[in-house]
Amino acid sequence: MPIIYGHPLSWSALLLVIDALIWHLAPFKHRVTRIGLRLGLFLIFSAIIINADVSPLQAPVFAGDRAVQLGATALGILWWLYAARVLTEIIGLVLIRRIGHSGRLLQDVIGALVFLIAIVAAAGYVLELPVKGLLATSGVVAIVVGLALQSTLSDVFSGIVLNTTKPYQVDDWIMIDGTEGKVLDIDWRATHLLTSAGSTAVVPNSVAAKAKIVNLSRPSNMHGVSISIQVPNHIRPRRVLDALDRTLQGSSSLLLSPAPKALLKEAGENMSEYVASGFIAELGRKSEVRNQLFDLAHRHLEAAGISRQLDGAVEPTTRARALLDEVKIFRSLGEDERDRLALAMTPQQYAAGQVVLELGEVPDNLFVIATGVVSATVPDDTQQTEVGRMGPSEVMGEQSILADTPSQATFTTLTSCIIYRIDKSLTRSCMEQRSEVGQALNKLQAVRQQNSQLTLMAKPAPIKKGGLLGWLQKR
């Protein structure tokens, strides 16, 4: 192919242009295909210049034509740079396949070293410069530059350590020295975090390597959530801990293992700090569950009479009257109406595990939970599925009040409870006097039916067993 070998400079330059166009414009979805094509073009480039008597391992000799001499020298230098580029891409592909996205930083550092070696080799082989003197001079320059860029180099090498040890990776939620956020990127200088406030925090790698790192995303299916409550020292700790235990049992979002717990963290001169903590399966629900726990803690502390002692409020005449102030469906009633309704409320104690309202039962009363936790379950094929948990100031039996409809769920106590009963006729009388009561009951019924349907729909379908085991079970 004399036309190619007769004009190696032109054809080599054309190959470089084709390589650049393919790399940036060709729609290859797989990186392996792109790198394979670049490697193929590099081998063709090498064959052309070598067959044209241009060796990258020695200075070209074309004494008769200075233009060809310069072109051959340029081809030799380009061969080393082209080789460095291809080698860098191959190394990057291997690193990303082995250690994922974090391999990009190592690829950049190794690529810089490869290009440095290629430049020194081109200077020594193609240009025949005194490499030893160049290395000695570059060593002095490197020391000066290294001292000037000490902080930057510290970030680079710290980034390498972070990428190899992998205490966190992209998309993890972490906390570094009190800065919490989602990891967006880890480059050669810093780690970029997206905070909960929507801002970007840039933490230098040298700081991250020395700091205490808390990875909130590991393990992936268990994340801690806790709330802190301060209570005056004169209140007996056992009362507070019992209320917080019921708070934890009232949340169905908490995992059963490890078991949630409440404890007295610290006792000061005037106030004691209590902590209720547990674990959830989804990190994205952490804020939602914390808000739920705070609300449950308030209700259970109120049910235990602790909240009223904290704010100095006047204690209502009866426990039933205090409970009515917290029941949403009766908020439209006046003070006198609540007083009369409280006189007609009948309390009943339940032990843990007792059924308050059976599936299909049409009760003659509206039930109002004063203390404790109640679980609501609905039938799902051959088993019962929990669709919610209820606590103080929540009601049961609204379907019977509205239209004498049987209960569509079974309500069972999870803890010892005190539950008040309000006669059906008295509740309907309140509905006639205040239309808001009926509207609240209808809204409550609709929300509960929707939650039940969503819970059943979200339940994973059972896995059908096949193969030999399935065949044996059918016999």
- Mean pLDDT for the stretch of residues 399-415: 92
Beta bridge pairs of residue 416: none
pLDDT value of residue 272: 92
CATH architecture for the domain at 166-215: Roll (2.30)
Contacts made by residues 278-282, CB under 8 angstroms, sequence distance 24+: 278/224, 278/225, 278/226, 278/248, 278/251, 278/254, 279/222, 279/223, 279/224, 279/225, 279/254, 279/255, 280/222, 280/223, 280/225, 280/253, 280/254, 280/255, 281/221, 281/222, 281/223, 281/255, 282/223
pLDDT at 355 over 90: yes
* Phi-psi category of residue 187: left, alpha or beta, with phi > 0 → left and psi -120 to 50 → alpha: beta
pLDDT value of residue 361: 93
pLDDT value of residue 317: 62
pLDDT at 448 over 70: yes
pLDDT value of residue 468: 40
Beta strand 261-267 with 271-280 is: antiparallel
pLDDT value of residue 365: 93
Q: Are 244 and 229 in contact (CB under 8 A)?
A: yes
- Mean pLDDT for the stretch of residues 341-370: 94
pLDDT value of residue 262: 95
Mapped onto helix, strand or coil, the DSSP state of residue 222 is: coil
Higher per-residue confidence, 443 vs 145:
443
What would the pLDDT profile of 291-323 be if each residue is shown by its tens digit? 999 999 999 998 888 865 555 555 556 788 888
Of 68-72, 155-159, 438-442, highest mean pLDDT: 438-442
Q: Are 396 and 365 in contact (CB under 8 A)?
A: no
What residue spans define the domains of the chain?
2-148, 166-215, 223-311, 328-458
pLDDT value of residue 467: 46
- Mean pLDDT for the stretch of residues 155-162: 77
pLDDT at 4 over 50: no
Percentage of the chain surpassing pLDDT 90?
32
The pair of three-digit structure tokens given for residue 421, joined into one six-digit string? 């009963």
Out of 160-169, 236-245, 298-307, 366-375, least confident range: 160-169
Give me the CATH topology for the region 223-311: Alpha-Beta Plaits (3.30.70)
- Mean pLDDT for the stretch of residues 91-95: 77
Higher per-residue confidence, 465 vs 460:
460
pLDDT value of residue 279: 93
pLDDT value of residue 129: 75
Same fold, 166-215 and 328-458: no
* Residue (of 250, 251, 249, 259) closest to 279 by Cα position: 259
For 328-458, give the CATH class: mainly beta
Higher per-residue confidence, 222 vs 395:
395
Amino acid at 165: T
* Residue (of 300, 299, 258) closest to 278 by Cα position: 258
Out of 60-69, 136-145, 343-352, 452-461, least confident range: 136-145
Percentage of the chain surpassing pLDDT 70?
82
What's this model's pTM, rounded to 2 decimal places? 0.61
- Mean pLDDT for the stretch of residues 348-371: 94
* Residue (of 318, 317, 324, 303) closest to 427 by Cα position: 324
pLDDT value of residue 411: 95
Any idea of the CA torsion for 175, 179, 182, 186, to the nearest 10 degrees? Answer: -90
pLDDT value of residue 141: 54
pLDDT at 416 over 90: yes
For 45, half-sphere exposure in the C-beta direction (CA atoms, 13 angstrom radius) is 28
